A = this chain, B = another copy of it.
Amino acid sequence: MGAAKETLGEEQPWAEVSPDAARRLLIAAVDAFAERGYHATTTRDIAGRAGMSPAALYIHYKTKEELLHRISRLGHDKALAILRSAADGEGTAADRLSAAVRSFVRWHAGHHTTARVVQYELDALSAEHRTEIVALRRLSDAAVREIINDGVRAGEFDVPDVPGTTLAVLSLCIDVARWFDVGGRRTPDEVGALYADLVLRMVGAAPERAQR
C-alpha cells in the first residue's frame, strides 16, 4: 500500500528547516534539550554544538523559546500526521488501531530525542505557543478516540470508558520517549509490535492468533 510514498520513511529529518545553519542550530538544540532539559540548556551550548558563536543563534531565531516552539510544532505536526495516516487507512478498526500504535510508538522510540523534547518540555513554552500546541494534541486525542469509537460501534472492541482508554493509550505510547534507550535490547520496531498487541488487549479486541 502506498508504494509511491515508500521512501518517505527514510527522508532526512528536519529537511523542512532552512537555511542550513538554522537547521544545524535546531538539531543541536534538540540534542541539548533532550539531554539536559530546556532550562538547563544554555544558548552557548546550543551554538557550540552547531559549531557557531553564541550570537549566531539570534540571526535565525528571535529567542531560545522560539527554537523550542519550532521543534515542538514540527514534532507535533509529524506525530499527528502519523496518527492520522493510520486512522484514515483501510481495514478494520483493530487493523487501524494496531497500525496507529505501531507507527506512533516506532516514531517515539526511533526519534526519542526529538520526542522527549516534544512531549516533556511543553511547560517551557510561552502561554500563546503552549495553547497552539495543546490544540494539536487534542487533535491527536481525537484521532485515536475515533478509531476506538469505530471499533466499539462495529462490535470489535469492548471499551467501557472510551475517553479514559484513549487517554491511557496515548499516555502509554508517549511515555516510550521517556524510557527508550538506544543501548537497550529492543528496537523501535519491536517496541511498536509489543505495544500494538498490548493496546488491542486494552480495547478488548479478539486476539488474532487464537481464541480463548
Contact = CB atoms under 8 A, between A and B. Distances in A.
Interface string A114-137: 000000100110000000000000
Interface residues of A, number: 31
A194 interface: yes
A37 B41 CA distance: 13
Interface of A: 36-37, 39-40, 120, 123-124, 158, 160-161, 164-165, 167-168, 171-172, 174-176, 178-179, 186, 191, 194-195, 197-198, 201-202, 204, 212
Contacts of A37: 37, 39, 123-124
Nearest to A184: B167
- Copies of this chain in its oligomeric complex: 2
A160 B120 CA distance: 31
A37 B33 CA distance: 14
A36 B212 CA distance: 42
Contact of A175 (B39, B174, B212): B174
A172 B201 CA distance: 14
Nearest to A165: B198
A191 B171 CA distance: 13
